[in-house]
Chains A and B, each alone.
Chain A
Amino acid sequence: MEIGAYSFGDTQLNPDGSQRETSEAVRNLFEAIVHADVAGLDYFGIGEHHTTSMPASSPGAIVAAAAAATKQIKLGSAASIISTDDPVRVFQQFATADAISGGGRIEITAGRGSSVETFPLFGYDLGDYDELYAQKLDLLMTINNSAAPEVTWSGSRRPAIADLAVVPRPASGRLPIWLATGGNAGSSARAGQLGLPVSFGIIGGAPHRFAPLAELYRRSAAQAGHAGPEIQVSVAALGLVAPTKQEALERFYPGWRNLNVEMGRLRGWPAPDKRAFLAQADAPGAYYVGDPDEVAERIVHLHGHLGHMRHFLQTDIGGLPHEHLLESITLLAAEVKPRVTRLLSRK
């Protein structure tokens, strides 16, 4: 089982609660990835996000920079909002990072995104939500699956491409392309039908609720004739590891609260409730907040339901002090991962 992290960028806060620079958040993110590589983490994902509190708007640029500065860690987007981007450009950026990395550790995860801010930002029509996603994904897969650099594609939501080169080609011919979903059954079935690996974003409720979705994914893949190593499941979830459970709760809660207050203000929700947080922070809740033993056990428990091959955590939200992110990454790599490996080998 691979253990990893993901981030949307996390703008730090001043003592008075005001936001610091978004550029600092990007530098922190870069530093965290390099740190994760040294610590021995398996994977780091950068999620496209366009807010001042979460400013990782350009996963391709961060992945390229990190590709040059790291040696072993797999890097990817988590996710790229493919509906409102140009798949040619997304592919080129990640294939470029793949070349810089030495090849074989760069991935793309395509998603719709849970909010719709990229539509006005890039000038797309929300009424086209489904068509854009389907067609852009189709183009991305067409480029990736092409045996030659020259690509031919046509659709109604983007100008056609007639036998034009899309370069560079990835070192190993293709990049892993994952499909991200937040638990919509249709999306899980679609990932299977397309033969793409699926990444479940589980941000609330009991994670093992996703077991039927994983089954739907696998059976949809089998029905469409897709077998083999690409049919696999990963899980993205919220969490933080600290030396003790108490420290983990104390470190994660303020940022969780800040993020929920901000979203509540935007969306007209009431202030978040600490009981709701605590309910999610213990098994079988969605937040992997705890000491290394607990987090490892909960990952292994979920594995019994989903059979996933990668579990990765978003830790830096709501202005989490940077050192807490770094320590959580250290513990994930040095303490959680060996425990997960040991527990799984006993099964």
Chain B
Amino acid sequence: MELGVIGILGAGRVGTAVARQALKAGYRVRIATAKSADEIALLAEIITPGAEAVDAAEAAAADLVVVAVPLHKYRTLRPDLLAGRTVVDAMNYWAQTDGVIADFDDDARGSSEVIQEFLAGARLVKSLNHIGYRELEVDGREAGSADRRALALASDDDDAKAKVAGFIDRLGYDPIDAGPLSAGRLFQPGTAIFNAAHTAEQLRGLLAEANEPALP
């Protein structure tokens, strides 16, 4: 079966790790930054061998797009390019390391809900945010392995979520449906899910626990 093309916006620590892991899984990968394709050609050749360095517009036109830019730059993303696309939001709001960003700090919603509002037409799926960039290439396992790590997905678009679940599985992780995009709050920085590695069973347990109504 021909696997689709993965477009990655951001060639930082996360973007390049996702690119290499996707290449290993057999995907074709296009990687882009805010710079032009030729400005990152050498970077792609050496850091993500096999991935094609492209302009952001071309990465955004892939079958599945992973956004891994620093959160404070989210307004430099192009909503028009991402409209209608299946987009994985791997970004986190973490004031202690990234500094306070008013758009997120003053908002009770999860960071991905704010991103969804900005990328209005995108079919946004929150995932890949609660695994360290170094772990991503180390912790992946074959499906069925007893110690396989699980990653949560949250989205308001079920088709997009299913597509991203297939991608996560091929990267070497058990995809776990956490629910609508607002459920992304359950695996943001500071949560138990964010803070450690979990198997599918553990992750389901933590999600259930977090969803339980607080006792009066």
A and B interact physically: yes
Q: Is A159 an interface residue (CB 8 A)?
A: no
| Complex interface: stretch among B97-105, B163-171, B176-184, B201-209 | B97-105
Q: Closest CB-CB distance, B36 to chain A, in whole Å?
A: 13
Q: Among A119, A185, A267, A270, which residue has its beta carbon within 8 angstroms of that of B96?
A: A267
B134 lies within 8 A of A189 (CB): no
Instruction: Given the known inter-chain contacts A215-B46, A216-B46, A220-B42, please indicate yes or no for A205 contacting B134, CB distance below 8 A.
Output: yes
A268 lies within 8 A of B96 (CB): yes
Q: Is B145 an interface residue (CB 8 A)?
A: no
Q: Is A339 an interface residue (CB 8 A)?
A: no
A267 lies within 8 A of B46 (CB): no
Q: Is A204 an interface residue (CB 8 A)?
A: yes
Q: Closest CB-CB distance, A271 to chain B, in whole Å?
A: 10
Interface size class of A (residues with CB under 8 A): 20 to 34
A-B contact number at CB 8 A: 62
Instruction: Given the known inter-chain contacts A116-B98, A268-B189, A270-B195, please indicate yes or no for A186 contacting B42, CB distance below 8 A.
Output: no
A129 lies within 8 A of B195 (CB): no
Q: Residue on A with the closest CB to B70?
A: A129
Which residues between 9 and 51 of chain B lie within 8 Å of chain A, taking CB atoms?
Answer: 11-13, 16, 33, 40, 42-43, 46-47
Q: Among A119, A204, A212, A268, which residue has its beta carbon within 8 angstroms of that of B99?
A: A119
A216 lies within 8 A of B190 (CB): no
Instruction: Given the known inter-chain contacts A116-B98, A127-B72, A204-B134, please indicate yes or no for A185 contacting B190, CB distance below 8 A.
Output: no
Report chain A residues within 8 Å CB of B96: 115, 266-268
Q: Closest CB-CB distance, A223 to chain B, in whole Å?
A: 7
Q: Is B214 an interface residue (CB 8 A)?
A: no
Q: Closest CB-CB distance, B14 to chain A, in whole Å?
A: 10
Q: Among B12, B46, B99, B195, which residue has its beta carbon within 8 angstroms of that of A269?
A: B195
Q: Give A269 to B12 CA distance when docked, in angstroms.
A: 23
Q: Is A183 an interface residue (CB 8 A)?
A: yes
Q: Is B146 an interface residue (CB 8 A)?
A: no
Q: Is A184 an interface residue (CB 8 A)?
A: yes
Chain B, residues 182-198, CB within 8 Å of chain A (1/0): the string is 00000001100011100
Q: Closest CB-CB distance, B139 to chain A, in whole Å?
A: 12
Q: Among A129, A189, A212, A268, which residue has its beta carbon within 8 angstroms of that of B72?
A: A129
Which residues between 249 and 299 of chain A lie within 8 Å of chain B, taking CB atoms?
Answer: 266-270
Q: Is A219 an interface residue (CB 8 A)?
A: yes
Report chain B residues within 8 Å CB of A212: 46-47
Q: Is A334 an interface residue (CB 8 A)?
A: no
Q: Give A269 to B193 CA distance when docked, in angstroms.
A: 11
Closest 9 CB pairs of A and B: A268-B190, A116-B99, A126-B99, A267-B96, A205-B134, A216-B46, A185-B47, A270-B195, A185-B43
Write the residues of chain B forming the contact surface with A, with a CB cutoff of 8 angstroms: 11-13, 16, 33, 40, 42-43, 46-47, 70, 72, 94, 96-101, 134, 189-190, 194-196
Write the residues of chain A forming the contact surface with B, with a CB cutoff of 8 angstroms: 114-116, 119-120, 126-127, 129, 183-186, 189, 204-205, 209, 212-213, 215-216, 219-220, 223, 266-270
What are 6 of the A-B contact pairs (CB < 8 Å)? A115-B97, A129-B70, A184-B12, A186-B33, A186-B43, A216-B47
- 18 more A-B residue pairs beyond the given contacts A126-B98, A270-B195, with a C-beta to C-beta distance below 8 A: A114-B97, A119-B99, A120-B100, A126-B72, A185-B43, A185-B47, A186-B11, A186-B43, A189-B40, A205-B134, A215-B46, A216-B43, A216-B46, A216-B47, A266-B96, A267-B94, A267-B97, A267-B189
